[in-house]
Structure 1
Amino acid sequence: MKKIEAIIQQEKLEELKTTMTDNFETIGLTVSQVLGFGNQKGLKEYIRGQEIITTLLPKVKISMIVLDNDVEAVIALILTICQTGKVGDGKIFVYNVEEAIRIRTGERGSAAIR
């Protein structure tokens, strides 16, 4: 099993969520609102004539646990929906997961994430 974390632009969340549930029989997502700073270097705005530079930009972090054979398909789907080619599209991280346990039933391993 792998944990996939994707930090994406907020406006891509609904499309990604809908497409994930349409393409994968069993998928669970954990979504967090986050602030980030990277190559985008912030956003310059003018409010009442004054320049305001926001360095921490709002993003969405999506976390999911998937079976090893679904990892590349999930990554490809995230890239298809979230990739605009512009700075600030986000990042995808993949981690190994040693164990998963469903608290309600005590199921372990792949049975716990289905």
Structure 2
Amino acid sequence: MKKIEAIIRPDVFSDVRKALVKEGIDGLTVTEIAGCGRQEGRTGLFRGNAYEMEFSAKLKLEMVIEDFKVEPIIEAILNHAVTGEVGDGKIFILPVDEAIRIRTRERGAVAVF
């Protein structure tokens, strides 16, 4: 099993979510986060006053999937999260050694899928 963590722009989430559903992903954790990278800060305007925003709002998607689904999921995210601008995000793939469903104590893939 693998865990995919994708950091994306909030405005592309709807399209990414639809693409993940088409790939059979029905379990997903979404967290609102803020961060900075190459896009650096932006200047905002509030009541006529300019201010620096050091961090950009992002969404972090997390899902545990079977190994054979990794590439289709990556392609779905890449195809629907891209805007072509700096700050589109990142995808991280991590190995999952074990999964345990607390309620039933099931272990392994059966605990996730």
Given the two structures, how large is their TM-score scaled by the length of structure 1? 0.91
Poorly superposed stretches of 4+, deviation over 6 Å: none
Question: May I ask how many residue pairs the two structures share in their alignment?
Answer: 113
For residues 1-114 of structure 1, the aligned pairs below 5 Å read 1-24=1-24, 26-114=25-113
Residue 49 of structure 1 deviates from its aligned partner by 4.3
Percent pairwise identity? 42
Verify the 8 A CA contact 2:4 2:93 in the aligned structure 1.
Answer: yes
> What is the SS of the residue equivalent to 2:52?
strand
Verify the 8 A CA contact 2:23 2:72 in the aligned structure 1.
Answer: no
Deviations 1:53-107 (A, max 9, x none): 1011110000000111111111110000001111010000111110011112222
Provide the rounded CA distance (Å) in 1 between the counterparts of 2:4 and 2:23. 16
Q: CA RMSD in A?
A: 1.4
For residue 22 of structure 1, what is the amino acid of its counterpart?
Answer: K
> What is the SS of the residue equivalent to 2:111?
helix
> What is the SS of the residue equivalent to 1:60?
strand
Provide the rounded CA distance (Å) in 1 between the counterparts of 2:91 and 2:76. 12
Structure 1 residues without counterparts, runs of 5 or longer: none
Provide the rounded CA distance (Å) in 2 between the counterparts of 1:3 and 1:107. 18
For residue 19 of structure 1, what is the amino acid of its counterpart?
Answer: A
Deviations 1:11-66 (A, max 9, x none): 11122122212221x53100100001100102112344433110111100000001
